[in-house]
Structure 1
C-alpha cells in the first residue's frame, strides 16, 4: 500500500467533464486497490463544486479538500503578461492560499508519491520539494502548448493571432523546461509520450483513460434514437470551435439530404450563441444529469475537433457504450482505432457529412461500428489493468 497525494487543477468529483473523469478513474482505482489517497484540488469559478455536495463516502475515500481559486481572465494582468516572458496560463494557477494548504498537508503526513494532474499545478513543485521527500510525477492530460498552437493557426484575426502566439510560445517554453524537475511523466496517449521522451531524461509511461469493464445496464436495451449528438464542456475552446465548424459547414449538407435529421448538443457552459440558437431539429440540451444516459439514448456521436491534444474522454465514453463515432483525425488522437472498423474519420465538411450519412442511412452499420468500438475500449482502456501499470510505475521510481 502506498500513500498518494493528488494535486488537481479542478475537483475530480463530480465527473462532469473529461478532466475530472480522467483524474477520478485513477484516484478511485488506486483507493479500491488498497492504496491510501488524498486529494487537494483547486475550486475555481470555471469549474466550481459545492463542497457540501460531495458525498460523505467519497470524502472518506479520498480525504478531498478544495481551495478556492480565481481563474477568471483579467484584461490588465493578461496584457502586462506580454512583457514578462512567463506563461499566463500557468501564472493564473499560482495561489498563496493553495500553497499554504499544500504545505500544511505535507507537514502533517508523509506521502510516497505526489501526483500533479496537469502541467498547470507545477508551480507548487518547489513547495513539495521543500516539505516532502515524496516522488513527484506529472499526469500530462495533454501537450498543453500544442492546443494553443493549433488554436493560433486557426485564428484569422491578426491581433488575436499575435496574442495567441505569445500564449503558445511562453507555454511551450515552460512546458519543455519544467519536465526534468519531475521524477516521472504519465501522459494519457502514446503519441504524447513520444513528445515527452524527446524532452526529458525522466521515465515516461503512458497511463491512458480507463473504463471499468462492467456489463452495460438496462439502458442498452432501450432503443436509441437515430440521431446525432455531441457531448463536451463548451468552455473548452476546441469543443466550441468544432461545433461552430460543424453547424456552419456540415449541418447544411446533411439537412439538405435528410431534413428530418436531429442533432442534440450537451455539455457544461454552453455559450450564448448556442443557447440562443433557433434552428429546426437542433436541441441544445446543456449540462445533463447523466452523461451515460444521454449517450445511450442517441445513436451517432460526432467529434469535429481541429485542435487539442491528449485524448478526448467523451469519445472513449461514447465508444465504451457501443456508439458509432464520426471524428476528425485530431479528435481521435490517442485512440488505437481502425478507420471504418470501430470509428469513422473525416477531416473535411464533405467527407464528414458522408460519414454521418453512411451511419444514419444504415443503422446496422452504426451498430456494427459501435460494437467494435466497445470491444476496443474494453481491451485498451481496462481501468483495473491501468491501475496495476500505474502501481508498477510507482514502485519503479520509489
Structure 2
C-alpha cells in the first residue's frame, strides 16, 4: 500500500483529450488519484479547453490566463531565459508556490514551459516531465537565427534542469540518453498511458480495410507541413489512388478546402474515439520533418495493431521491440515504394491483434505512480 502523498501539480496545458500530451496529463492525474494521492492542480487557460476532474482527490487550485501581451512582458521579467520557457510565467503562481510548497510532499512540473517554477522552490522535491527535449527540437531547424536561438535554448534548458532536488522524467531511452549527453543529468523513463478506449477495442475492429490514415493535431505546423509535403511529393507517384482518412481537429479552413477536393481523401476532424478507425487501417502515414520526443500518434497506431510508415523523426523513441512494425522512409520515393507495398498486401485480424497485445504489454509498465512507493 502506497503512502498517500500531497502533490502540487503544475501543467502548461489543461488536461484533456485535445492533444496526446494533454491526454497523458489527464490519465496521469487519474492514476495518481486512484492510488490515493491528493493533488492540487495549477494550469494555464486555453480557449475551448476545459478540465473537469473525474476524481475527488483532484482539486483545480488555479487556472492562470495566457495571452500575447503577457508573453511579451514575461520576456522582460526573465530575460536570461529563452521566451519558450517564460511564456507561462505568472507572478501570482510564484508567490503561491514560494509560500506554500513546503505543504506538499512533491511538486510535479508538467511540460518544459513550466520548469521555471523549479527555480523558486530549490528545497522542494521536484519531478520534471520532459515531453520533449526542447534543444533537440530547435537544433533540427536551419538558418542563422535558428542556430542562435538553439544555443539560447540549450543554455536555458540546462539551467532549468539543474538542481539536486529534481528528478527528470522522459518517455524514451532515446531522450534519456540525450539528456545525459547534453546536460550530464540522469533521467527516469516512464511509460506513456494508452487511452482506455484502445483496451476496449473488439475483435471485429481489427479487420483491415483498404484505407490509410493520417492522425494528428492539425493546428501544429509540423503536422500540416508533412501533410502538404505528402500530397505534393508522394501521392502523385502512387500506383493507384488509395483511400485516406485524416483524423484530428484544428485544421484551418484553407487546408480543409485544399484537402477535401483530393479524390479518396476523407477529413474526419476531431473524433471522440479514433481507435477503431486506426485499427482498420492498412497503415498510419507519418511524414514529420520537425519536432522531438515520442509521437503518441505512432504509439497509438501500434496499440491499434497498425503498422506505421514514417520518417525517422516520426518514429524515434518507440520501444525497440516494436521496430519491425515501423517502416522508415527518408525520401518521397521511399514513401511511394512502401505505401505501394502496403496497399498490395493485407494483414489478418489475428496479426493485428498480436501487435495490439504486444504494444500494450510493453507500455503498461513503469508508471510514475509506481515510482512514488
TM-score interval, smaller chain: 0.7 to 0.9
* Alignment match, 2:335: 352
Once the 2 structures are TM-superposed, how far is the Cα of residue 354 of structure 1 from its aligned partner?
Answer: 1.7
Cα distance per residue 1:343-368 (max 9 Å; x no partner): 22222111112212222211127973
- SS of 2:266's partner is strand
Contact 1:116-1:139 within 8 A present in 2 as well: yes
Once the 2 structures are TM-superposed, how far is the Cα of residue 142 of structure 1 from its aligned partner?
Answer: 0.8
- The one of 226, 229, 235 equivalent to 2:213 is 229
Give matches, 1:59-74, under 5 Å: 60-72=56-68
- Whole-angstrom distance in 2 between the partners of 1:134 and 1:165: 34
Query: Which ranges in structure 2 are unaligned for 5 or more consecutive residues?
Result: none
1:271 is the counterpart of 2:252: yes
- Whole-angstrom distance in 1 between the partners of 2:97 and 2:86: 17
Cα distance per residue 1:180-202 (max 9 Å; x no partner): 13511111111111121234465
- SS of 1:64's partner is strand
1:374 is the counterpart of 2:356: yes
Contact 1:359-1:365 within 8 A present in 2 as well: no
* Alignment match, 2:234: 250
Once the 2 structures are TM-superposed, how far is the Cα of residue 65 of structure 1 from its aligned partner?
Answer: 4.1
* Alignment match, 1:158: none
Once the 2 structures are TM-superposed, how far is the Cα of residue 273 of structure 1 from its aligned partner?
Answer: 3.5
Cα distance per residue 1:68-88 (max 9 Å; x no partner): 43254999879x88xx56412
- Whole-angstrom distance in 2 between the partners of 1:377 and 1:185: 24
Cα distance per residue 1:10-54 (max 9 Å; x no partner): 0122x2211112223322222222322332211234xx4235xx2
* Alignment match, 1:145: 135
1:7 is the counterpart of 2:19: no
1:136 is the counterpart of 2:139: no
Q: Normalized against structure 1, the TM-score is what?
A: 0.81
Contact 1:264-1:283 within 8 A present in 2 as well: yes
Q: CA RMSD in A?
A: 3.1
Cα distance 1:2–1:86, how it changes in 2: closer, same or farther (>3 A)?
Answer: closer
* Alignment match, 2:32: 30
Cα distance 1:126–1:371, how it changes in 2: closer, same or farther (>3 A)?
Answer: same
- Whole-angstrom distance in 2 between the partners of 1:165 and 1:215: 41
Contact 2:218-2:248 within 8 A present in 1 as well: yes
* Alignment match, 1:171: 153
Cα distance 1:339–1:121, how it changes in 2: closer, same or farther (>3 A)?
Answer: closer
- Whole-angstrom distance in 2 between the partners of 1:340 and 1:192: 17
315-324 vs 66-75, greater mean Cα deviation = 66-75
- The one of 275, 284, 299 equivalent to 2:267 is 284
Once the 2 structures are TM-superposed, how far is the Cα of residue 228 of structure 1 from its aligned partner?
Answer: 1.1
Cα distance per residue 1:93-137 (max 9 Å; x no partner): 212344355557x36x821111111211012123434xxx53012
- SS of 2:355's partner is helix
Once the 2 structures are TM-superposed, how far is the Cα of residue 338 of structure 1 from its aligned partner?
Answer: 5.8
- Whole-angstrom distance in 1 between the partners of 2:302 and 2:325: 8
